[in-house]
Amino acid sequence: MMNASPDTKTDRFLSSAIYGIGVLLTLFTIYYAYEYPMSRLRYSNIFLGTGLTLFYLLQIRSTVSNETGSSARSTDDGETQSWVTVPSSVRSLVQRLNPFVYGLLALASVFAAGYVEFHFTRLQEEASILGWTQLDLIVGGLIIYLVIDATWRAYGKSIGLVVVSSVFYAFAGPWFPGIFRHTGMSWEQISREGAIGLSGAYGFIFGVGTTWVAIFIMFAGMAKAYGLMDFITQISREVRKVFHSGVVHVAVLGSMAMGSITGSAAANTATTGSFTIPMMKDQGVRPDYAAAIESVASSGGQMMPPVMGVAAFLMADILGVSYLTVIQAGLIPALLFYFSVLVAVHLVILRFGWTVPERGTFDRSVIAEGIHFSVPLFVLIYTLVVLELTPLGAGLYTIISLVVTMYLRNFVVDGLESGTAVATTKQTIDGFRQGAVDMAPLVGMLASLGVVLGLVNQTGLSQKISTQMLDLAAGIFILLLVLSMVTSVLFGLGMPTPAAYILVVILVAPSMVSFGVDQLTAHMFVFYFAMLSAITPPVAVAVAIGSQISGASFTAACKQALRIGAPGFVIPYSFIANQSLISWSFPETIVAVVFVFTGVVALSVATIGYDGGERIGLPRRAIYLVLSALAIAGPLVVQIAATAGILSLLAVANSAVSSSAQRVLAE
């Protein structure tokens, strides 16, 4: 049997269906943001059915077009499902059946969402009093199955098993020992709490996802259709001409920008790393370092405002604070992290001599080609910071400004002609489609997280773990922080940003809040460590992907990633010790920034073993390490003394370098 080619009628039909549904989903989101024609709960149900249908249609087309390859299928979290051990006859049968299975799942998605829509008023207002019918409960179970299946297919087994485990745990509670034991839930209760009671899959996580998250994902898709990624690539090429460090710093900053939006360190590493890692290797950077630099930079992107890998929207909703408050709290820690990465990378480049000569001047005309993209960026900042609109409202006006700007720009550049209008309209509609396609894999995952949250809370597990951590800490604050760090890293392993954040917030943050830590600070603390799990062995999913691209040993790449990313494991402690880094105040925040930034530099020098002038041995590295700890978390007087000590050591090192350079020139 021959594989169907992409130009068959089936594939054309699928492409048309995907295009139409994608455009409609984006337009529906924009319409809801503008008009608010229905409750968010009802809107979320329609979004769920449409998003799942679109996702399964994409799966059908991927299978029919043989886009994923016949031997393996890679998922966004870096896992690969191999057919090596499966007999060829079974493999062939499964491949032939896959499109039909996906088609049935797409139809089931339409049916489930349609059923909830048809019975919405009864389910919302009467069912909790009069009771749910047997068909209601079956549909609830179907919804739970669909979101778990979509999550598993989109993000692999790590997050899929978490959702499955939460359902199993809810059902099998009486079989568990100790603190994990509970009375258990019947399948009817699981269906009710997980979906058909309009909670769980329909909870606040999915509500935020279908509004605040969706509007920004769709904006990013439209910007890509308008050529934003091409503009970023051009800028990167020009910057390489004038940076002594070559492409390395550009790779870090590019991963920072992409990572804030993607919501997955693994996906970020795979996309940006596919071109930054080869460029770093061409510059002479060792493969293990190239993989490490990209994976650390990609992981940090999830911490960078304004999107923070979509966690910023969830955090604002969970805490009941404004979105502006969250991105303000996250800004300095994120800048600290990337400052530390840039310093560490710079020291690595100097230490191993991987610098490049200047090859020309920056072509400023490139900036003019993409200056129009600054208009929607300005609108976004203005609507969020000055007007203090919700992210949904800000996203709406940002999309409108992007579309208007592109029409005006194209008319000015290409002429006021009908052909220009047609071409720009096609770009716009392509952008609608791209935004929905980018959003489709997230639909199942966000709904699955709602299921996890609903069932974990219903069983009381989160309260039990929080109480247990407090007991283990025995009143010792630093021990509680260390336990919170370890637990957050463990629960974050292999997870996309929203999933990792939700899990650690449910299970870890309450114990810190009970100890007296500010809620926002506690959330930031556990969130950071959940993100750093992407470079933490044994999973280190971002490093695994980076090492595959670079051809380096996974173990060697992990070692270098931990060295480059070491300050990231200290930064969360810095904003526990310096609350003004999260809650800004003058002049405390400025003073804390100076101390902590200096301490981060010293920590990078200690971990890299190079001070900008020469390699340093263990005694001097230990001195830098101690001074770093004191500058970051000591009393004020100690912070001042430690900062002065660090600056003095660096000044001496710089003086030695200058003297050596002068002697070389004199000779």
Which residue has 């940090």 as its token pair? 300
Higher pLDDT, 561 or 307: 561
pLDDT of residue 45: 95
pLDDT digits (tens, 9 = 90+) for 498-526: 777 887 888 888 888 888 888 999 999 98
3 state DSSP class of 460:
coil
pLDDT digits (tens, 9 = 90+) for 451-472: 888 888 788 776 777 777 777 7
pLDDT of residue 21: 95
The helix (H) or strand (E) run that includes residue 614 is none
Asked whether the beta carbons of 345 and 252 are under 8 A apart, the reply is yes
pLDDT of residue 39: 92
pLDDT range class, residue 92, cuts 50, 70, 90 = low
pLDDT of residue 106: 95
Burial of 367 per CB tally in 10 Å (0-12, 13-18, 19+)? middle
pLDDT digits (tens, 9 = 90+) for 296-342: 888 887 788 876 767 787 888 888 888 888 888 888 888 888 888 88
Average pLDDT, the chain: 82
pLDDT digits (tens, 9 = 90+) for 183-220: 889 999 999 989 999 988 998 778 878 887 788 888 88
Burial of 80 per CB tally in 10 Å (0-12, 13-18, 19+)? exposed
Tokens standing for 44? 């979320």
pLDDT digits (tens, 9 = 90+) for 611-664: 877 788 888 899 999 999 999 888 888 889 999 999 988 888 766 555 544 443
pTM for the full model? 0.74
Task: Look at residue 609 and tell me whether its pLDDT is greater than 60.
Answer: yes
Tally the C-alpha atoms within 13 A of residue 474's C-alpha that lie toward its C-beta: 1
Q: Bridge partners of 38?
A: none
Least confident of 105-114, 163-172, 422-431, 541-550: 541-550
Tokens standing for 155? 């993000």
Higher pLDDT, 1 or 153: 153
E strands present in 293-352: none
Which residue has 């040993």 as its token pair? 553
Backbone angles phi, psi at 67, to 5 degrees: -70, -25
Cα 454 versus chain centre, distance: 22
3 state DSSP class of 615:
strand
pLDDT of residue 2: 47
pLDDT of residue 140: 94
pLDDT of residue 254: 74
Task: Look at residue 368 and tell me whether its pLDDT is greater than 90.
Answer: no
pLDDT of residue 566: 86
Task: Look at residue 87 and tell me whether its pLDDT is greater than 80.
Answer: no
**Cis peptide preceding 587, ω within 30 of 0:** yes
Question: Cα–Cα distance between 33 and 39 in angstroms, integer?
Answer: 12
Task: Look at residue 246 and tell me whether its pLDDT is greater than 60.
Answer: yes
pLDDT of residue 661: 44
pLDDT range class, residue 80, cuts 50, 70, 90 = very low
DSSP secondary structure letter of residue 385: I
pLDDT of residue 241: 67
Task: Look at residue 402 and tell me whether its pLDDT is greater than 60.
Answer: yes
pLDDT of residue 70: 42
pLDDT digits (tens, 9 = 90+) for 19-68: 999 999 999 999 999 999 999 999 999 999 999 999 999 998 888 765 44
Question: Cα–Cα distance between 331 and 609 in angstroms, integer?
Answer: 28
pLDDT of residue 147: 94
3 state DSSP class of 74:
strand
Asked whether the beta carbons of 514 and 466 are under 8 A apart, the reply is yes
Alpha-carbon distance values, 318 to 205, 221, 323, 424, 495 (Å): 9, 26, 11, 39, 19
Question: Cα–Cα distance between 90 and 98 in angstroms, integer?
Answer: 12
pLDDT of residue 116: 95
3 state DSSP class of 354:
coil
Q: Where are the domains of the chain?
A: 1-69+85-239+358-453, 245-353+460-574, 585-657
pLDDT range class, residue 555, cuts 50, 70, 90 = confident
pLDDT of residue 69: 43
Task: Look at residue 666 and tell me whether its pLDDT is greater than 70.
Answer: no
Question: Cα–Cα distance between 607 and 151 in angstroms, integer?
Answer: 38
Radius of gyration, alpha carbons of the chain: 26
E strands present in 246-313: none
Higher pLDDT, 650 or 365: 650
Task: Look at residue 94 and tell me whether its pLDDT is greater than 50.
Answer: yes
pLDDT digits (tens, 9 = 90+) for 138-171: 999 999 999 999 988 887 776 788 889 889 999 9
DSSP symbols for 488-518: HHHHHTT--HHHHHHHHHHHTHHHHHHTT--
pLDDT digits (tens, 9 = 90+) for 66-76: 544 443 333 34
pLDDT of residue 28: 96
**Cis peptide preceding 567, ω within 30 of 0:** no
* 645: amino acid identity, one letter: G
pLDDT of residue 17: 93
Question: Cα–Cα distance between 109 and 444 in angstroms, integer?
Answer: 11
Q: How many CB atoms lie within 10 A of CB 188?
A: 16
